[in-house]
Amino acid sequence: MRLTFRRDLPTANEFYLLFIEQQVLRKLESLDAKLRLSGLGGLNAKRDRLLRIGAEFDRRGTVTKSGYGVFNLPWQAAGHPEWAASILTEVEGLRNAIRATHGRSLRFVIWAGMGGSAEDKSAYNALGLLRGGPRLYVLDSADPVKLKAILEDAQNRSKGPLRDVLKSTLVVGMAMGMTSYEPVVNLQALARLYDRQEIESRANFCYMTLPGSLLDRFGQERGYRRVELQLDGANSTAGRHSAPMTRGTLYALALAGRNVDLEAWIEAAQLDEIEIHAAFRLGSFLHAEALEGREKVTLLLAQELSGLATWTKQAFEESLGKSEEIGLKIVIGEPGRLADYRPAKDVRQDRVFLRVHAGRDTEHEQAHSVLRKAGYPVAVLALDAARPLSFYQQFIHYTVFALAYLRNMNFVTQPGVELYKSITNRLFAEAGTGGGIRQTAAWRLLETTTRRATFKGRVTLVYEHLPEHLAGSAKTRDAPATYASLISQVIRGSEVEYFELTFFGDMRYTAPGKKLMSVLERAGARLFRRRLKMPFDLYEGPAMNHSYHEMIIGHGRCFSTVLLSLKQEEMKSAGHTAEYHQAQFLATQMALAERHRLVVAILLKDLTPASQEALAEFFEEAGKHLAKR
């Protein structure tokens, strides 16, 4: 591993020296030993900086949970050489249970989880680490369309009936929050499917969660196998910290068979002191740049590492999005073109670049050279190509910790995510007693507000949740012009530094969803990146809410556009409706508005080619109006 910098600020070295002078690593190791030996009794976060930033505690400061499992699991692993073999044995036990119950080999895995419980699996799929094992599907949405598409794909691959697919499938539910309900919605639907097919399902289901959580209660009622997330039996990791060293990661890798050497994977996560201090050095560099207004960390990953982009984004943003004063936006999916950025000497230039590669990186070498010569701040992390990617993931965790330490910010909690979840559950309860989600007050407001404009009868812009000084001056007849007017106002007022496009529905497994992803990617690149020289986020909802919603709702400075198709499907064979999914769409807007964040909604008539063409034209026309302004 090698870390180098271009245009390093003097303050970055001053920040780094704090880690040496204050012996942060030694104190962290000492605290970890104390926690494992004596537990949480008598600990008060108000008297200990490390506890303030890495533990959960009540208003009096009494520590209720440690979040330092992300570091102590690799430390413990050095004394537990049997852990890799234990994981392989446990996974083989899951295979054997399916074989003994149904006489079938394991062919498919459906991993039901949100955010940190799912993003690592999506990354490993994209990186090809799971090839050679059963096909793993990430079910990170309560949208029935996604589950339906997953099962249809499995049937097409198996060339057999659904009954045979279900017998050959392992369903893993994972939620590291007490109130996470999405995995329960999906497991309920799948369990009903097994029941209606008259298939004994206990061999096909297992789950990982906190004792007493919503998922735990559901699993116990069904008699499903509960698996401890951590190999030490503790509960000291947040969901986004479950990679690279918990069963949440190791099970998925073990299922891939010989494709991943688990012993090497676990060993690579055990960083030495020099490597940990390199992460502290990167954190110091990024913090110094952020204090100068360069908060947009543009991540340039080599092609073979590109699957780690969203995971990296989540690790930073969900951990560090709690301050309105200072943030750290991870920008992904950009080609690294100089034309997309403001000049390095422009006072509005807010970019810093992080290039990561393993071995030779010819793809980004030229881009890096151009950026460096143009005078932009650049950090380059060169990884050992032969070393498992667990090293990179653990290195990122230490970098996030370094930033949290310098900012005196808790990096294990997620208050913004909890706000959205509480509103969702309230809306879902109202829907249950009032005749459905579209009978709730929130949905009726969406339909009746005067702050809406329709384009070609297929695209409706709703800006009800914007503050009066924006919404009151916007046009109401021409939807693209109104959208452009709103964007123009927030830019002139310096209220926004980046944009978000989030579709509440599938963009991974279905053809219409993949098409929509292309439409939104093209629209965002043209309208925000090229025309305004500003980055944009593009993702699915509500997975985004658990992945990097914390930065949007906590730090702010974002203009959010959330999209939903009015034509929603249900999966009658599993009793699975889109009610909870639509509640999440509404709750996202309400949570953002409650925190005075800027959000508008776009309602699509459906996902037909005609509607998608209208949406593309909507953004194109908005760009033309914006150019005139």
pLDDT digits (tens, 9 = 90+) for 308-333: 999 999 999 999 999 999 999 999 99
Instruction: Please indicate, yes or no, if residue 486 is contained in any of the structural domains.
Output: yes
160 with 115, same domain: the answer is yes
3-state secondary structure at position 556: coil
CA gap 344, 352 in Å, rounded: 10
Give strand pairing partners of 599.
Answer: 560
Tell me how far the alpha carbon of residue 538 is from its chain's centroid.
11
Alpha helices (H) along 256-389: 262-268, 273-291, 309-320, 362-374
Is 397 inside a domain boundary? yes
Same domain, 445 and 395: no
Q: Domain check: are 373 and 423 in the same one?
A: no
In a domain, 82, yes or no: no
Below-50 pLDDT ranges, the chain: none
In terms of domains, do 146 and 19 share one? no
**How buried is residue 441: exposed, middle or buried, by Cβ count under 10 Å (0-12/13-18/19+)?**
exposed
Cα gap 193→167, rounded to integer Å: 11
* Position 344 in a domain: yes
For residue 562, give the CATH number of its domain: 3.40.50.10490
Residues 367 and 283 in one domain: yes
Within this chain, do residues 219 and 336 fall inside the same structural domain, yes or no?
no
Contact indicator for 280, 273 with CB cutoff of 8 Å: no
Crossing angle of helices 247-255 and 119-127, in 10° steps, is 30
309-320 helix and 390-407 helix, angle to the nearest 10 degrees: 20
The interaxial angle of helices 579-594 and 182-196, nearest 10 deg, is 180
Answer whether residue 93 is part of any domain: no
Q: Do 129 and 226 fall within a single domain?
A: yes
- Identify the sign of the CA torsion 64, 67, 68, 72: positive
DSSP for 355-408 reads EEEES--HHHHHHHHHHHHHT--EEEEEEPTTS-THHHHHHHHHHHHHHHHHHT
Give the pLDDT score at 353.
96
294 and 342 in a common domain: yes
Domain range for 250 is: 102-234+241-267
Note whether 464 and 550 are same-domain residues.
Answer: yes
Q: Is 78 part of any domain?
A: no
Q: Which strands sit side by side in the sheet containing 329-331, from one edge to the other?
A: 2-6, 378-383, 351-358, 296-301, 329-331
Residue ending a domain, choose from 407, 441, 457: 407
CA angle 391, 393, 395 (to 5 degrees): 65
CA–CA separation, 620 and 523 (whole Å): 7
CA 217, 220, 223: angle at the middle one, nearest 5?
A: 155
Q: Tell me the pLDDT tens digit for each residue of 135-192.
A: 999 999 999 999 999 999 999 999 999 999 999 999 999 998 787 888 999 999 999 9
Last residue of a domain, one of 367, 389, 407: 407
**94 in a structural domain:** no
Does residue 91 lie within any of the structural domains? no
The 3-state DSSP class for residue 325 equals coil
Q: Are residues 383 and 432 in the same domain?
A: no
DSSP 452-518: EEEETTTEEEE-TTS-HHHHTTS-SS-HHHHHHHHHHHHHHTT--SEEEEEEES-SSSSHHHHHHHH
> Do 336 and 259 fall into the same domain?
no
Which of 374, 391, 407 finishes a domain?
407
How many domains in the chain?
A: 3
Shared-domain flag, residues 303 and 229: no
